[in-house]
Amino acid sequence: MRITTEAIRAVEEPLDANHARDLDHASDLAARTGVDAEAVISEICRFSVAAPSWAVGTGGTRFGRFPGVGEPRTTEEKLDDVAALHALTGANRTVSLHVPWDDPDDPAALRAHADDLGLGFDAMNSNTFQDNPSTTGNGRISYKFGSFSHPDPVVRAHALEHNLAVVELGVALGARAITVWLGDGMNHPGQARFVDQFERVADGLHALHDALPDGWQMYTEHKPYEPTSYASVNPDWGSSLLLAERAGPKAKCLVDLGHHLPGTNIEQVVSRLAMVGRLGGFHFNDSKYGDDDLTVGSINPYQFFLVALELVDIGGGRMPDIGYMIDASHNLKDPLEDLAQATDQIQLAIAQALLVDRSALAASQDACDPALAAEHLQRAYRFDVRPLVAEARRRNGAALDPVSTFRRLGYRDAAVAERGTESVASGL
């Protein structure tokens, strides 16, 4: 089934009166703090974050996976799910594919399907952290001991070839970027020389960079561990920056919110990469321990607010034009409900960040007055921005209350009816 604005409006009609009242109050309160609520709503309306194709299926851990029901069986059905999500949020206009989990035989047909759904294609993702027939020359090589970093040049050549194929597919689909996240590194001290692994990866990324079409970008994505358990080739933003610099001007760094050691000040990492002109994009999620891939904002929403505030600062008062993607793993929740909650959290954090009086904050900073600075941050963070975000969704033809409305519309039941209870989406 497709979710339409009309269907949403019909379901949500009972909410309209209270929404209007709450919106009035929020606008009034914003005005009192010197902020134009319309400007906030307008920026939320404009913002979009890509949904990853793998995230519309159930995720798992190394200990197992408990599939859901009605999971999409094909990339086309994944797009259908993203379209349903976007209908509810108004803020997921693109989808990010992962090859070969997505490996369309007919890219033109897939693109036409996306067009029909009103969706575009965001950054492509390659996969050299697993062995798949289409990426290993039907098993002639293995990425067990690395891809771009492998001591054997034949393996490295296959890794490059796969990435080039992903770019080619992306061109056919109208995408404009490729994200390169590698599982390369070591599980054991002494397994390799750090500098050898780095140099090989830098060479591979440089070769890929030089083959990128005009207008494309490449994102390097760092992660300290997992699947590696001793050292990753690209473990931190410093390495990611060096790799991007070695690759070339089209290469920028992607920050996945879960790819940091305990205690990392992520908002500072964001600032550093932006400062040197290499902030490329985000994978949004949240975590308590490792790369937990939980709903963004579900563990530390204040930290996420601080990241959003950094972005608004970088963008001079609006969200900068970089890549935004959700990257979460829905092991227990319905994937579409979790994606709707994630998109909501992102919209809420941006709205809060837009409510910060940045010039008053700057004055408190110049005056060495951290207590006053904290007051300014709290004034925005404690603001109930839900009416502003709901209004932005409404104006985009989407839902005031995405999760409830998703349930009322019966999308999952319809999916089960069509796809069955045994379908398993490709992905992790």
Residues 106-135 that bind a copy of itself (CB under 8 A): 129-131
* Residue from 1, 69, 207, 242 binding a copy of itself (CB under 8 A): 242
Q: Could you tell me the sign of the dihedral formed by the alpha carbons of 52, 349, 290, 197, in that order?
A: positive
Residue of 168, 203, 236, 418 that binds a copy of itself (CB under 8 A) = 236
- Residues in contact with a copy of itself, counted by CB under 8 A, come to a total of 111
State yes or no: residue 386 binds a copy of itself (CB under 8 A). Answer: yes
Please report how close the Cβ of residue 354 comes to a copy of itself at its closest, in angstroms: 15
Interface residue with a copy of itself, options 287, 343, 405, 423 (CB under 8 A): 287
Site string for a copy of itself, 27-56 (x = CB under 8 A): -xx--x------------------------
- Minimum distance, C-beta of residue 241 to a copy of itself, in the bound complex (Å): 6
Site string for a copy of itself, 314-353 (x = CB under 8 A): -----------------xxxx--xx--x------x-----
Task: Select 99 or 212, whichever has its Cβ closest to a copy of itself.
Answer: 99
Which of 107, 120, 137, 301 touches a copy of itself (CB under 8 A)?
A: 301
Residue 207 sits in the site that holds a copy of itself (CB under 8 A)? no
Whether residue 43 contacts residue 30, with contact meaning beta carbons closer than 8 Å, is answered with no
Q: Rounded distance, CA 400 to CA 123, Å? A: 28
Of 44-52, 73-81, 92-100, 186-194, the window that binds a copy of itself (rule: CB under 8 A) is 186-194
Q: 66-105: which residues touch a copy of itself (CB under 8 A)? A: 66
Residue with tokens 């001793």: 230
In the list 275, 395, 417, 424, the residue contacting a copy of itself (rule: CB under 8 A) is 275
Residue 284's DSSP bridge partners are: 326
Mark 138-169 as b/e (b = at least 16 C-beta within 10 Å): eeebebeebbbbbeeeebbebbbebbbbbbeb
Would you count residue 362 as binding a copy of itself (CB under 8 A)? Answer: yes
Among 35, 41, 377, 425, interactor with a copy of itself by CB under 8 A: 377
Residue pair 409/56 in contact (Cβ under 8 Å)? The answer is no
Residue 215 CB-half CA count within 13 A:
5
Token pair 């963008």 is found at 315
Contacts (Cβ under 8 Å, ≥6 apart) of 363: none
Instruction: Report which residue type is found at 80.
Output: D
Neighbours of 88 (CB within 10 A): 27
- Amino acid at the residue 26: A
Q: Which of 107, 227, 248, 397 binds a copy of itself (CB under 8 A)?
A: 227
**Site for a copy of itself (CB under 8 A): which residue of 10, 109, 261, 424?**
261
Burial of 338 (0-12, 13-18, 19+ CB in 10 A): buried
Tell whether omega for the bond before 402 is within 30 degrees of 0, i.e. cis.
no
Minimum distance, C-beta of residue 113 to a copy of itself, in the bound complex (Å): 28
Residue 265 sits in the site that holds a copy of itself (CB under 8 A)? yes
Rounded to whole angstroms, the Cα distance separating 285 from 274 reads: 20
